[in-house]
Amino acid sequence: MSDTLAEPAPPTAAGSAEPDQPAEQPDQPAGPSLSPSRATDFMTCPLLYRFRVVDRLPELPNPATARGTLVHAVLERLFDEPPGSRTPAAARTLLPGQWDRLVAEVPALAELFADATEQAAWFEEAARMLDRYFTLEDPSRIEPSYREMSVRALLASGLTLRGYIDRLDIAPTGEIRIVDYKTGLAPREEYEARALFQMKFYALALWRTRGTIPRLLQLIYLGNGELVRYAPDEADLLATERKVNALWQAIDRATSAGDWRPRPSRLCEWCSYRSLCPVYGGTPPPLPPPPLPAPPADALPTGAPPA
Ligand code: SF4
């Protein structure tokens, strides 16, 4: 969730350039699980993954991530309006109320701006992104089946895929379209596969839970008003499944070895953890102790004294 780049979006608190992943939920699956944001973190830099997932180091919001969250919130609420009322003016009207709601949830957001002028400019950019949305889609002709849809899918490998889909449209024919809003710029062609990985990940999760391969994956880039569309097939999703399983094995090996190597790239510019990164002269904190294994069932106290 963030956004003023041409291609690989800067990593953020949620692990991608967009607020596509609400905070990790308490109802985590019992076995291993992976979201597309965390998978992307590991591919970007194993040390970044460690800081976020193993150390669970907090990250402060920044104006770009906050704007992504706000625009997503408005686009989600826009579909509460009757179709004829889903207008650019209505979307702009939703902005202040959604911002107040987000600030109530995360008070640190209120501290992001030096003054009212800076905040007004930031708001106006969010409003322009919403205006741009209407040049790409006509929401009065869309009735989403789901918004901010939680997906979970257990693969045969034992790995659970999890994540949140911004919008799922299901046609009367049963055809499925997965839609994701991005408040950054559309990626250059060489980075498009990376952007589509998240969408194929969701498509795989839906295929494994519903038995239907989504007809279309659609990324809506509000930073520059472009659409990226892709029609996946079975071979695509099987390849994604192999990739996700291989990624998980690599994460598992890194966890067992405690080997989280930094992988510097231009994305370091947006990394919240540069001060802790050896590449930039920092020292990572000691690794937290591994969680204690669950005791065997027959070792659990029953409340009855031993015989
Ligand atoms: S600053 Fe360090 S931890 Fe962050 S992405 Fe770059 S190499 Fe990885």
Smallest CA-to-CA distance from 37 within 54, 55, 52 is with 52
Q: Is the CB of 57 under 6 A from ligand 1?
A: no
Q: Which tokens go with 193?
A: 């596969």
Q: Is the CB of 279 under 6 A from ligand 1?
A: yes
The number of the ligand 1 atom at minimal distance from the alpha carbon of 278 is 2
The number of the ligand 1 atom at minimal distance from the alpha carbon of 264 is 7
- Ligand 1 centroid from CA 63, angstroms: 20
**What local confidence, expressed as pLDDT, does residue 193 receive?**
87
Q: Which tokens go with 1?
A: 């969730």
Q: Is the dihedral of CA 30, 167, 11, 272 positive or negative?
A: negative
Q: Count Cα atoms within 13 angstroms, Cβ side, for 148.
A: 14
- Ligand 1 centroid from CA 258, angstroms: 17
**What local confidence, expressed as pLDDT, does residue 44 receive?**
95
**What local confidence, expressed as pLDDT, does residue 48 receive?**
98
In total, the chain counts a number of residues equal to 307
**What local confidence, expressed as pLDDT, does residue 139 receive?**
98
- Ligand 1 centroid from CA 255, angstroms: 18
Q: Is the CB of 216 under 6 A from ligand 1?
A: no
Please name each of the domains of the chain with its CATH number: 33-254 (3.90.320.10)
Q: Is the CB of 8 under 6 A from ligand 1?
A: no
The number of the ligand 1 atom at minimal distance from the alpha carbon of 274 is 1
Q: Is the CB of 46 under 6 A from ligand 1?
A: no
Question: Which stretches in the chain have pLDDT values below 70?
Answer: 1-29, 292-307
Nearest CA to ligand 1 atom 6: 268
The number of the ligand 1 atom at minimal distance from the alpha carbon of 267 is 5
**What local confidence, expressed as pLDDT, does residue 234 receive?**
98
The number of the ligand 1 atom at minimal distance from the alpha carbon of 44 is 5
Interior angle at CA 196, CA 194 and CA 199, nearest 5:
130
- pLDDT tens digits along 214-257: 999 999 999 999 999 999 999 999 999 999 999 999 999 999 99
Q: Is the CB of 260 under 6 A from ligand 1?
A: no
- Ligand 1 centroid from CA 99, angstroms: 31
Task: Tell me the chain's radius of gyration from C-alpha atoms.
Answer: 21
Q: Which helix (H) or strand (E) holds 169?
A: strand 160-170
Q: Is the CB of 276 under 6 A from ligand 1?
A: no
Q: Is the CB of 41 under 6 A from ligand 1?
A: no
Q: DSSP letter string over 250-307? A: HHHHHHHHT-------GGGGG-TTGGG-GGGT--PPPPPPPPPPPPPGGGS--SSPP-
> Please, which residues have CB within 8 angstroms of residue 64's CB and are 6 or more apart in sequence?
1, 2, 3, 4, 10, 12, 183
- Ligand 1 centroid from CA 57, angstroms: 14
**What local confidence, expressed as pLDDT, does residue 11 receive?**
34
d(CA 108, CA 69): 14
The number of the ligand 1 atom at minimal distance from the alpha carbon of 271 is 4
